[in-house]
Amino acid sequence: MTSLAHFPASPVDPADDRPEWGTMAEAAERATVELSTIRRWIASGRITAYRVGARNVRLDLRQVSPDRIGVPIGGAAARKAG
């Protein structure tokens, strides 16, 4: 067996690259949008979802973090974001 002691430690934490799996409802809550918006984003390709089994859909919740979805610029959404 080869020792890995001579390999330098990786500067990137591998845990940072792991998806944070969640449901569409969790994504909607995180993004503060309706579930129908999450469905629309999936259909348009804005975010990627994966079917797990016959009925379950999961997506990486990092895709709907506030820094990735932008800031509302008009209408009721902008007033709510205040």
In order along its 82 residues, the chain shows pLDDT tens digits of 555 555 455 455 556 678 899 999 999 999 888 999 999 999 988 899 999 999 999 999 998 877 676 655 666 655 565 5
pLDDT at 10: 47
pLDDT at 17: 77
Q: Which residues pair with 51 in a beta bridge?
A: 57
Domains held by the chain: number: 1
Q: Which domain holds residue 35?
A: 19-69
Query: What distance in Å separates the CA atoms of residue 24 and residue 57, rounded to the nearest whole number?
Result: 7
On whether residue 2 sits in a domain, the answer given is no
Query: What distance in Å separates the CA atoms of residue 17 and residue 19, rounded to the nearest whole number?
Result: 6
Largest CA distance in the chain: 63
On whether residue 9 sits in a domain, the answer given is no
On whether residue 48 sits in a domain, the answer given is yes
pLDDT at 8: 52
